[in-house]
Amino acid sequence: MTLAGIVLIIIAVAFCILVLALVPTLLTIKRTAESVASLSEMLQKELKPTIQELTAVLTELKTVGGGIAEHTDDVKEFMSALGETGSNLHTINRSVRVVSNVLNTTTVWVSGAKVAGRYLIERYLKKRGGN
């Protein structure tokens, strides 16, 4: 055998080894591509309804948010009216306190006047009766 023949045999053996190593690799790549294709198909099937549901939810949230924004002024007016009511109740409470203090003072003065009047009448009657 010549040197060229030996080199050709080595090249042929190396090529066979390369082919034998590439066949399982190519089969694995093919299975991976099929798996990726099925995953892509599944994601498209699953994601489209999910995206549609999310779009519907976002539309509802926008509607609710708009409703809340519309009623914010109503809530502000209510809180303002509530604050005014509290202020008016405080004013009424102060007025009632002043009136009750006046009535208490008047009652004390009336009681004092009655006692003083009785005392004076009794003294007057004693003086008149005693003379």
Alpha-carbon distance of 106 to 95, in angstroms, equals 16
User: Model's pTM, two decimal places?
Assistant: 0.40
Q: Where are the domains of the chain?
A: 15-68, 101-131
pLDDT in tens, the chain (131 residues): 799 899 999 999 999 999 888 898 899 999 999 999 998 888 888 888 888 888 999 988 888 877 777 778 888 888 888 889 989 999 999 999 998 988 889 988 988 889 889 888 888 888 877 55
pLDDT at residue 34, as a whole number: 93
Structure tokens at 46: 């699953």
The backbone region for 2, taken as left when phi is positive above 0, alpha when psi lies in -120 to 50, beta otherwise, is: beta
pLDDT at residue 71, as a whole number: 78
